[in-house]
């Protein structure tokens, strides 16, 4: 849990292991109400310290009958706070409050028709028939005292329940997923009609809160930040700069594995335009020398990571006394670092940003974005005045172009890939569907093939084009790009990039393939 939260309305989501936890939170935050994810066994004493407007019990894969079923303290139902149970969360509420849950004779998975028997607050201004997404093997067969059924399906008599007096509600389906078309409205009815939230969670309010928090935490100290030009590090640097000015020193390391003119763009934007305190380190020779002859992808990643840490540490030592290390940790990083069943401890993943710096530096972590999701970070970036080319930048791997060159990395191959990358970016920006694409980029593979250019035989390299859609990068599907766009990209690369005579398109999804080739 954050030591100091956004000072506004708060909905607590208790985590029972649902794969949809982040979707619940996105629905709530998308309605301009702040929410956080807590372990299912969070002490009630901790929740009482917060100004909670409501509690949502998430779904989960367990059954309340299991020996070690995850169950919260029954005391949460005595806090006087509205509660919404979703799927397993509803079964937990019924189980702990004296009702009865039993294995269903016929399990419900997929779309079902929900018939609303009593609209009330939960189904306020919604039609009497809804399509909802079911995913459960148990069902409620007896309600606790004070509850009543307000909706049913063909297989579930109690598909939605309520105790209006105590403001307890439950739904057997998943309103957070897109397969429940009116699900967003159901969640909004809970947070506005039941919890009486006003919706004061905005990025401008977050910025104001964060600036005050940073100033209080840093006091008169100094901060260093590894600036890459990506959206996370850029927003982190801009936000802290807004709070403490020149006392944040950004270190930009040019590892020689960047895109075309990337270093110049970063320096121009942050040093010249926004007047941040940026120290530029040209370490291209050092990185390429250590990568010479290395073909194994894991060895390449390790060398790049270790070299970056060495360069960053050396530069930091030149700055005198530094108190804080700023990192662009996001809320999904915090969530994923918790134990599966919501253990109380939170450990930030060591691979995030520069999380391998020597302990001898003795720096405190400053993570101003750790309460935000990616799209919220982009919104903060816009509020801070960052250009769209940074705010909407596609994810770019930490090791840079090195993982998009199969085999050895050298200057010639980097130059070929940079040119191809620049062309792909130029052509994709003209594509009307670019906003739906998670990543689009070329890969240089160490395969030569015979070709014909003019009247001459060629024997040159192959470039692979990769374009995928994804929600979070965990899974991805290849994009069905128009043939004419593929044709333009292919001809553009082959005509202008010396050393390439063949372009192919990767039509693999993740899984089984990964998004990046290495």
Which of 410, 399, 309 has the alpha carbon at shortest distance from 361?
309
Summarised one tens digit per residue, pLDDT across range 108-136 is: 678 899 999 998 999 999 999 999 998 87
pLDDT reported for residue 83: 98
Distance of CA 214 to the CA centre of its chain: 23
> Beta partners for 84?
56, 169
Give the model confidence (pLDDT) of 458-496 as tens digits: 899 999 999 999 876 767 899 999 999 999 999 999 999
HEC string for 362-384: CCEEECCCCCCCHHHHHHHHHHC
Q: What is the β-pairing status of strands 129-142 and 100-116? A: antiparallel
Of 54-58, 208-212, 344-348, 428-432, where does mean pLDDT reach its minimum?
Answer: 344-348
Give per-residue pLDDT as tens, 248-287.
999 999 999 999 999 999 999 999 999 999 999 999 999 9
pLDDT for position 5: 57
Q: The pTM is what?
A: 0.80
Q: Is the pLDDT at 354 greater than 90, yes or no?
A: no
Residues classed as catalytic: 87, 174, 176
pLDDT band at 21 (very low <50, low <70, confident <90, very high): confident
For the chain, give the percent of residues with pLDDT over 70. Answer: 92
Q: With bands split at pLDDT 50, 70 and 90, how would you rate the model's confidence at 347? A: very low
Cα 499 to Cα 463: distance, rounded to the nearest angstrom:
10
- When pLDDT is averaged across residues 149-156 and rounded to a whole number, the result is 92
Dump pLDDT digits (tens) for 320-345.
Answer: 999 999 998 888 777 766 543 344 33
pLDDT of residue 359: 61
Residue 375's pLDDT is what? 85
pLDDT at 4: 54
Which pLDDT score is estimated for 358? 58
Quick one: average pLDDT of 447-454? 86
Three-state DSSP at 116 gives strand
358-395 in b/e burial notation, b at 16+ Cβ within 10 A?
eeeeebeebbbbbbbbbebbbbbbebbebeeebbebee
Neighbours of 73 (CB within 10 A): 16
The answer to whether 437 touches 429, Cβ cutoff 8 Å, is no
Of 227, 269, 243, 262, which is closest to residue 385 (Cα–Cα)? 269
The pLDDT value recorded for residue 136 is 73
């Amino acid at each position: 849990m954050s030591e100091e939260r956004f000072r506004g309305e708060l909905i607590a989501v208790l985590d029972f292991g649902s794969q949809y936890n982040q979707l619940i939170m996105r629905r709530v935050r998308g309605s301009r109400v702040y929410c956080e994810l807590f372990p299912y066994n969070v002490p009630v004493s901790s929740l009482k310290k917060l100004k909670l407007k409501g509690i949502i019990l998430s779904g989960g894969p367990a059954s309340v009958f299991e020996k070690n079923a995850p169950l919260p303290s029954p005391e949460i139902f005595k806090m006087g706070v509205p509660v919404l149970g979703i799927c397993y969360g509803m079964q937990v509420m019924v189980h702990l409050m004296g009702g009865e849950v039993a294995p269903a004779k016929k399990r419900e998975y997929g779309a079902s028709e929900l018939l609303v028997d009593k609209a009330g607050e939960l189904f306020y201004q919604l039609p009497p028939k809804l399509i909802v997404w079911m995913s459960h093997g148990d069902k409620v067969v007896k309600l606790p005292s004070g509850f009543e059924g307000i909706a049913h399906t063909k297989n579930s008599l109690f598909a939605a329940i309520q105790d209006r007096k105590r403001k307890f509600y439950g739904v057997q389906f998943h309103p957070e997923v897109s397969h429940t078309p009116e699900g967003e409205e159901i969640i909004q009815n809970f947070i506005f009609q039941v919890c009486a939230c006003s919706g004061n969670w905005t990025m401008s309010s977050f910025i104001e809160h964060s600036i005050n928090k940073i100033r209080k935490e840093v006091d008169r100290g100094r901060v260093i930040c590894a600036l890459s030009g990506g959206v996370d590090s850029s927003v982190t640097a801009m936000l802290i700069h807004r709070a403490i000015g020149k006392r944040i020193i950004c270190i930009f390391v040019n590892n020689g594995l960047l895109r075309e003119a990337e270093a110049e763009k970063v320096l121009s934007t942050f040093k010249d335009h926004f007047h941040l305190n940026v120290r530029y380190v040209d370490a291209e020779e050092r990185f390429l020398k250590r990568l010479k002859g290395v073909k194994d992808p894991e060895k390449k990643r390790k060398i790049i990571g270790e070299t970056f840490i060495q360069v960053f540490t050396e530069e930091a030592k030149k700055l005198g006394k530094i108190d804080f290390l700023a990192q662009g940790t996001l809320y999904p990083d915090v969530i994923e670092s918790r134990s599966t069943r919501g253990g109380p401890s939170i450990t930030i993943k060591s691979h995030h940003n520069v999380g391998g710096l020597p302990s001898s530096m003795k720096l405190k972590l400053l993570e101003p974005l750790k309460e935000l999701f990616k799209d919220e970070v982009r919104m903060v970036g816009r509020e801070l005045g960052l250009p769209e080319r940074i705010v909407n930048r596609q994810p770019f791997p930490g090791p840079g172009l090195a993982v998009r060159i199969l085999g050895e990395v050298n200057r010639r191959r980097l130059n070929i890939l940079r040119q191809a990358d620049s062309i792909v970016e130029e052509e994709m920006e003209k594509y009307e569907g670019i906003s739906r694409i998670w990543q689009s980029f070329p890969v240089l593979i160490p395969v030569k093939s015979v070709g014909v250019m003019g009247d001459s035989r060629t024997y040159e390299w192959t470039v692979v084009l990769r374009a995928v859609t994804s929600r979070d990068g965990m899974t991805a599907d290849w994009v069905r790009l128009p043939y004419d766009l593929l044709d333009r990209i292919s001809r553009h690369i082959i005509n202008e990039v010396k050393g390439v005579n063949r372009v192919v398109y990767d039509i693999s999804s993740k899984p089984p393939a990964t998004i990046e080739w290495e």
